[in-house]
A and B are shown apart, each in its own frame.
Chain A
Amino acid sequence: MDDESLGLEQVVYQVRYSWSDASLLGTRGMGPVESTLPVALLPLWDQHLRDHVWAANDYPGFTFFVRHSFGALLRKTRTAAADGRPGSTAHALISSELTAPIALGLTCWDGWDTPVLNAVSWPEMESVAGQYLDSLRSYARRLQPARLASLFAQILHAPRDGYTVIGDFEPLATICALGDLLGETPTFASDETSDGGTHQPVAIFLREPSFSSTTVTRRRLDPAAPADPVVSAFATGVVDAYAADGLQGIAVLRRAKPPTNLAEARAWATATQFAPGVIADLTRLPKLDHNILTRLADDVDALQRIRSAAEEASPADLADALDTSLPQPVSTAIIPAAVSAVTAMPAESTVLARLAQFHPITLDLVHSRLPTDIDLLAHMSQMLLSPRDRQSVLARATRDMTLDKIILWIEVNVARDPDGARAAYKGLCARADELSPDDVRALVGGTGLVDAVRRFSESEPHASTHLVTLLRALPDGTLTAEVVADLGASSDPLVLHALDSTVTDETALAAVHQRIRLAYYYEHALQEPLRPPLQHHEANPGGFWKWLLRFGRPADGHPAKK
């Protein structure tokens, strides 16, 4: 039978079964009494439906199966005849659109057992099915985990074979859960008295073991039965994830088709777990039981898998995975990848914020993942590394920068990130041997760098020390008398103090002292003495006038005037 033979104009067909003296097929007993199927097709479908129309218990039972690419969902209920004799009535929906998940959703459809079989709208039914399926799934997630895991593990022994579940009080929820876990909702019969016979749905639920003289050949799942250890541990982990987060929790398990045998099930389990019972989902790690996490921390292979998974993970998943409750070996396996993620996508502030919870992160762990861009590095290192490590990486980062850029970076960032500026300054000092006298004039003679040093220093003496460090690192002979004279022209006490501490050339040193005196006089509104130093005058006739010309009064912009 195909769409053409059934007619496409009506998508959902209905048949009602009840006891009658003469059914639509002329038979006595339980038979079709109302139908929207084409007349010619009723006998054919009766053969498929008639063995599924008997209610087993007082409340409704549902059966779903597929024939000729059409899904058929039956709802059967107990009824009483006119004299009260217990019987059954059943209502069947048949549609090519009907799948097992939709069938589960339709079990709460309000059109069951309406007095007359009215035309139904498939979109409306589909919508109803979707809503109820969500509710059913919520309920399914609350099923007893141990029992569900055991059932799932046993199914995985032969995933394509039919099975019977005995004594389950929530068959529809169990079917929903097992379908979600396996990735394929089975055809089902939610409440039967027997699981014998041919053409049975995949999953059959019996209230109690069916009594029969016919040997049981159908697999009966026993929650207490032992299962293959690999799939058993897998099932436990999967069910935990499903219970906690529903379909999203087991998203990593999705595959095109469910496994078909135990070997495939094992392979599936191995491929989708970090360790037995721990599905390969980074985001679930923080939710795992403490004992499981402890075991995971000692499992070298598992840690390697976590590491690999982290490298492939999205920034969002990494952010979810990073949690300070994780044992250190586990978080250590994730952190490098997370640092890489932030480096690659600086906008992922969530990941960086989660990483910051692990501050200070050991430098060895992330060193190779750190960005080369000084701005990003400064930002990340500020959030992740200890001050000492940060200083180290920033200083190291300046090695590849031009001196101009280092200086500019220091000047620009010192207000916001004085520690970073200090670190960069240290890098600058390390490269002081590259500075020419003119560079030194520009650097120290200007106010930018000196101001920056002053700002990242705790005090003037500290700032002076920093300047001294730079000056002492200069190549020998850089601080000539001329250079010193030029530097001293700023009359900045910090520069003068640094020069005073650094310069060894006596002439230059005398000039520095002269400048210091002048600065002092100026500060105290004193005229400078006009008498030149005797020794200078005698040794160097005319030198005094040169001094006067060279050492003028401090400019108005002198810091001491401010």
Chain B
Amino acid sequence: MTEVHCPICNRRIGWETAAPYRVHPDGRAELLEREEGETEVDWRTRLITGYRPCGEVGRPGTHLLPYDYADYTPITIGMVGHSRAGKTHLLATMIARLCSNEPVLGRLGLAVGPLDLRVHQRYVADHITPLMQDRRQLRGTPANASVEFCDALKVTNRVTGRSFALTFFDLAGERLERPDDDEVRFYANAAALVFVVDPESIPRRSERRSERRTAADASFDVALRRLGARDRPRRAKSFHPVAAAVVVAKADLVRFDDRLVSDWLALSSAEEEVELGTVERESEDVYAYLTQRGATQWLRPAQECGRSTLHFASATNGPASEGRFPEAFRQCRVLKPLLAVFAMTGILDERLLLPAVTPAA
């Protein structure tokens, strides 16, 4: 087994020797011990809902990872973007779609299920259900929340037979902008980062070039700076060893400003979303769009990360009113960035990203 690191604090874990624990409803961790006469099946059944600590239980800052976390290839995906960029809504819709068991996902050979049931059920209750079922606008992520993965999924590629332990991080923008937040450590092991571009923050087309404010998203700067600490492969010394998906979220807000955006948003069928051959063309269009808007600062992740794709997406297809989304509420192209990340991180065959023969439009 390769080294196992805690996805939250990056602490190296002696996985095989880490004792299993169960977590009580009040959060207390209790050592899980095999009972006398307990069958192997029963013991395994109990273990599957257990956890292994990344350090000494009882010490501050020790995290509990699903018991079988290291049985699969760990993939950590972090959302990056300033406050109200749209990270939380985007991720909630991404995971909702991913976990929807849509038949089209079968085409890619993906099987998705919760890795940490506790975490997943909470995420569904706090994010997916309110947004997808109740169409309620989600609360902004508090910057004082514990730095932890918000959901953990097990994704299996039936084609390759490999399973992956996915952990998602969705921290508050305020926190991601802090240059020296010692608790934010997922950058060290993140396989992919989803850089969320807030279209309301980038210069408007109508603005003259000289009037354009070019203050970049500080969270992008912090993320790229933190990635600089990681070892880079010799072959690509100038690139960060991470997959980056740059997503112009809330694209519905700018769909009428630019035909390019509306055209891509129009292509939001489930079949199109799983067709990764269009990613390259879309990336080119997004790159062009941001460049034309003078938002080149937002392109840094695409320029500096080893693998990158660019996307337009809308998690809600329109703004909320009084905290709720109107009838037009639907998701546009939210799955594609995630599937692109899958392809860039080896969950899916990377060759799926090769341009499709058929043009998207």
Contact = CB atoms under 8 A, between A and B. Distances in A.
B25 interface: yes
B197 to A, nearest CB: 14
Interface in B217-257: 218
A28 B321 contact: no
Interface stretch (B138-146, B274-282, B342-350): B138-146
Contacts of A27: 174, 177, 218
A215 B62 CA distance: 6
Interface in A212-229: 212-217, 220, 222
Interface centre among A27, A29, A52 (most CB of B within 10 A): A29
A437 interface: no
Interface stretch (A193-201, A321-329, A454-462, A520-528): A193-201
Contact of A197 (B29, B144, B149): B144
B26 A29 contact: no
A82 to B, nearest CB: 10
A88 B142 contact: yes
A183 interface: no
15 contacts: A27-B177, A30-B172, A54-B142, A54-B144, A80-B322, A83-B137, A84-B322, A84-B324, A85-B84, A209-B27, A210-B27, A213-B64, A213-B149, A214-B146, A215-B59
Nearest to A211: B122
Contact of B146 (A28, A54, A83, A212): A212
Given A28-B82, A28-B84, A215-B62, 6 more contacts: A31-B174, A54-B142, A86-B139, A211-B122, A214-B63, A215-B58
6 tightest Cβ-Cβ pairs between the two chains A and B: A29-B83, A84-B323, A54-B142, A29-B174, A51-B144, A84-B322
Given A28-B173, A194-B144, A85 B137 contact: yes
Given A197-B146, A213-B148, A214-B61, A83 B321 contact: yes
A209 B118 CA distance: 13
Nearest to A52: B144
Contacts of B319: 83
B139 A220 contact: no
Interface in B1-50: 8, 25-29
A193 B57 CA distance: 22
B83 A30 contact: yes
Interface string A364-404: 00000000000000000000000000000000000000000
B53 interface: yes
A85 B320 contact: yes
B143 A54 contact: yes
A83 B320 contact: yes
B353 interface: no
Interface centre among B29, B174, B177, B323 (most CB of A within 10 A): B174
Nearest to A56: B142
Contacts of A88: 140, 142
A28 B177 contact: yes
A191 to B, nearest CB: 13
Interface in A1-31: 19, 27-31
Interface string A279-304: 00000000000000000000000000
Q: Is the interface of B mostly helix, strand, loop or mixed?
A: loop
A166 interface: yes
B161 interface: no
Interface of B: 8, 25-29, 53, 57-65, 82-84, 116, 118-119, 122, 137-140, 142-146, 148-149, 172-174, 177, 218, 319-324
Given A86-B139, A209-B27, A29 B177 contact: yes
On chain A, which size bracket covers the interface?
35 or more
Contacts of B63: 213-215
A210 to B, nearest CB: 7
A397 B144 CA distance: 81
A215 B26 contact: no
Contacts of B145: 193-194
Given A27-B174, A31-B174, A85-B140, A217 B59 contact: yes
Contacts of A52: 144
A144 B125 CA distance: 32
Nearest to B173: A29
Contacts of B58: 215, 217
Interface centre among B27, B63, B324 (most CB of A within 10 A): B27
A214 B62 contact: yes
B143 A215 contact: no
B29 A215 contact: yes
A51 B143 contact: yes
Nearest to A31: B174
B25 A209 contact: yes
Contacts of A193: 142, 145
Contacts of B149: 213
Nearest to B176: A29
A448 interface: no
Interface string A176-218: 0000000000000000011011100000000001111111110
Contacts of B116: 213
Contacts of B172: 29-30
A538 B119 CA distance: 139
A51 B323 CA distance: 25
A50 interface: yes
A28 B323 contact: no
Contacts of A19: 83-84, 140
A52 B82 CA distance: 20
A87 interface: yes
A29 B82 contact: yes
B60 A217 contact: yes
A220 B25 CA distance: 12
B140 to A, nearest CB: 5
B146 A196 contact: yes
Contacts of A216: 26-29
B137 to A, nearest CB: 5
A216 B82 CA distance: 29
A44 to B, nearest CB: 15
A50 B144 CA distance: 8
B320 A28 contact: no
A29 B83 CA distance: 5
Contacts of B138: 85
Nearest to A200: B144
B143 A213 contact: no
Nearest to A86: B139
Nearest to A84: B323
Contact of B8 (A51, A84, A213, A222): A213
A88 B25 CA distance: 28
Interface string A63-86: 000000000000000001001111
A214 to B, nearest CB: 5
Contacts of B143: 29-30, 50-51, 54
B320 to A, nearest CB: 5
A351 B83 CA distance: 72
Contacts of B322: 80, 83-84
Contacts of B57: 215
A194 B84 CA distance: 22
Interface string A538-554: 00000000000000000
Given A29-B173, A30-B174, A86-B139, A80 B83 contact: no
B255 to A, nearest CB: 17
Contacts of B177: 27-29
Nearest to A47: B178
Contact of B148 (A87, A166, A214): A214
Contacts of B321: 83-84
A211 B146 CA distance: 10
Nearest to A217: B60
A88 B174 CA distance: 13
Nearest to B183: A197
Given A50-B143, A80-B323, A84-B322, A215 B84 contact: no
Contact of A86 (B27, B64, B173, B323): B323
Contacts of A210: 27
Contacts of A198: 60
A16 to B, nearest CB: 16
